[in-house]
A = this chain, B = another copy of it.
Amino acid sequence: MSGANNSFQRALCPLLVAGQCFALMPVSGLTGYDASTLQFRWLSPRVAYTFLSLVGIFCHLCVCVRELVVADHITYSACAPPIFFAVTFLATCFYLRLATKWPDLVSKWQTVEQTMLKDYGYPRNFERRCKFCAAFMLTASTVEHLMALYSCLLRALPRSTGGLDVVRAFYTSWFEQAFKMTEYALWKSLLLQLSNFLATFTWSYMDMYVTLVSMALTEKFLQFGEGLRAVRGKAAPLKFWREARQLYDNLCCLTRTVDEHISHLVLLCLASDLYFICLQLFNSLKNVKTLYGYIYFFYSFGYLLFRASSMCFCAAAVNEVSQKPRDVLYAVPAGTYNAEVERFIDRVTTDEVALTGFRLITLNRRLILTIVGSIVTYELLLVQQGNGQGSFSEELEYAANITIM
């Protein structure tokens, strides 16, 4: 059955398999057609890999925190490395926890899919879109990572004595803090690079994951909405409305279940995106000197913005499409209006169906503007601080120079 490729499990498969390369989501049987193929075991190479990755990221985190404590000067920018690794560390933990519950979640999803199968089928082209998203994400992240490597290489070249020493120069310049604490060795560098690599991907992965899961939910609601719109303004039997209401109820419960499993991930995602967008904007206002610096900055900032906003819009779409049945229900002709329609209307208008960030925020369209407003406010506050200090000391220097003359 070709349509089954558009099922939740099959469509998300490429993304999850990609995630497993980065030590995320250590579940076996992802490529199967049925939830029963999925299995999580604590004693498996996948989980071991995840733990290794956690250890690596933890090392990075320790180095960064130590650096911060030693520097004894906490600024907004200086906090970025420890926050980056703390976020990826937490994310890996969250995915590990999610993995233990993944078979269960997919099986619940499949139950809903089975219910809808006869009347609605699978969402069309959903698998293709997911594949495209996963591929896009992997490519874009790889390009970003390569650009970062190249940027570091440019800095390392002058310090190298030529030949293969460029490798040493490169690594000591990249993991400067780490190799202050311990002596340089190639194997250490390679391990550090691997875990750094995993961390970088984990960071982008989160947004993409939330985006795709939201899209999957949205698709289900859209399918349902299409079926409903077909009877808009027409007479439909009580039985139709009862089944529609029950299906809607199932979809809402599914959304809640998904939310219970990923809401902490969503919050982490939102918080880290907010932090890094503010940071990049803040940096953008300082001078970027070289052309390559410009390109790198705009690429990575643009990618971050794209990821964050696509996540927000996709997650908000779940809330939006869950409200679509309203119009049809309001327009039910007086003749066929019945207790089931009334109950359905009550259901739709009194319940807020949406993904949330640890249930602290509801991801809807209004949230997006709130976030933009926060970014503008924090940015103005940060700029002021930065400006105040920056231009201040420069001008003081100027004043001092005059007085010395």
Which residues of A are at the interface with B, using a C-beta cutoff of 8 A? 72, 74, 242, 249, 252-253, 256, 285, 287, 320, 326-327, 330-331, 334, 337, 339-340, 343, 345-347, 349-351, 357, 359-362, 365-366, 368-369, 373-374, 376-378, 380-385, 387-389, 391-393, 395-396, 398-400, 402-404
Contact = CB atoms under 8 A, between A and B. Distances in A.
A384 B388 CA distance: 9
A369 B380 contact: no
B382 A380 contact: yes
A143 to B, nearest CB: 24
21 contacts: A249-B330, A253-B327, A253-B331, A330-B351, A337-B343, A345-B346, A345-B350, A346-B349, A349-B351, A361-B366, A377-B377, A380-B385, A387-B388, A389-B391, A392-B395, A393-B395, A395-B396, A396-B398, A398-B400, A400-B402, A402-B404
A347 B330 contact: yes
Residue of A72, A320, A392 with most chain B CB atoms under a 10 A cut-off:
A392
Copies, count: 4
Contacts of A403: 399-400, 402-404
Given A330-B351, A369-B361, A399-B400, A385 B387 contact: yes
Residue of A345, A360, A393 with most chain B CB atoms under a 10 A cut-off:
A360
Given A330-B249, A337-B343, A385-B383, A72 B399 contact: no
Contacts of A339: 337
A249 B349 contact: no
B350 A360 contact: no
Contacts of A382: 380
Contacts of A359: 320, 365
